[in-house]
Amino acid sequence: DTGVSQDPRHKITKRGQNVTFRCDPISEHNRLYWYRQTLGQGPEFLTYFQNEAQLEKSRLLSDRFSAERPKGSFSTLEIQRTEQGDSAMYLCASSLHSGRADEQYFGPGTRLTVT
Amino acid sequence: DAKTTQPPSMDCAEGRAANLPCNHSTISGNEYVYWYRQIHSQGPQYIIHGLKNNETNEMASLIITEDRKSSTLILPHATLRDTAVYYCIVRVGSGNTGKLIFGQGTTLQVKP
């Protein structure tokens, strides 16, 4: 399968613990996005990378959240000191940005439950 | 990016065409119309996008009005597997972040 993959698919953690999610984009894609989706809502943008550079972060991304894309390939999203409000589906998407309209391809998501 | 307005829900009979409307009256000249769908518990799936001409691919057709203030996504022969939330999104095609701003979407229920 050459689509976007995410790991793990499900994560249950206790409040206060740190968690890290991984996203592997489609191999030639230079842009990588993270979104968060809570129940009954559409996905909300968190941050994006062009190659290894993190170019925008949403105000939703508090200082407990950090994302990296060290070699311009896979990305990780870490949440420190998790809170119950962090429970959500975390979605990763990638695209090939070439100066024209580009479509984003999403992974299956990581569902986080904070107890 | 311009805002969009979609009906919260629609029904369609299996085998019939599903026509999903979207209003984007404040769209700018360089903004594209994108459609994504999300089947329960999966990540969103890209369907189609267009600027001003009508577009067709293997999944759907996109009809954009001449004034570009509204569009319709057409699934020509809906199946039960097309039951999903459909999102209409307007964004600048090039430059900027390319981030997608999702609204509430339209929940399409395809019935046998």
Mean pLDDT by 10 residues, chain B (112 residues): 88 97 91 93 92 93 95 97 96 70 94 96
Report DSSP letters for A64-105, one per residue.
TEEEE-TTSS-EEEEESS--GGG-EEEEEEEE--SSS----E
- Residue to mutate among B39, B97, B104, B106, with most A CBs inside 10 A, is B97
CB atoms closer than 10 angstroms to residue A41: 14
Contact A48, A34 (CB under 8 A): yes
Which chain A residue has the Cα nearest residue B48?
A: A103
pLDDT at B6: 96
Range of weakest confidence among A31-35, A79-83, B27-31, B61-65: B27-31
Range of weakest confidence among A49-58, A79-88, A91-100, B58-67: A91-100
Question: Do strands B106-111 and A31-37 pair parallel, antiparallel, or not at all (unpaired)?
Answer: unpaired
pLDDT at B97: 66
Q: Which residue from B32, B43, B95 is facing A106, i.e. has the nearest CB?
A: B43
Instruction: Record the tokens describing residue A73, joined without a space.
Output: 């390939």
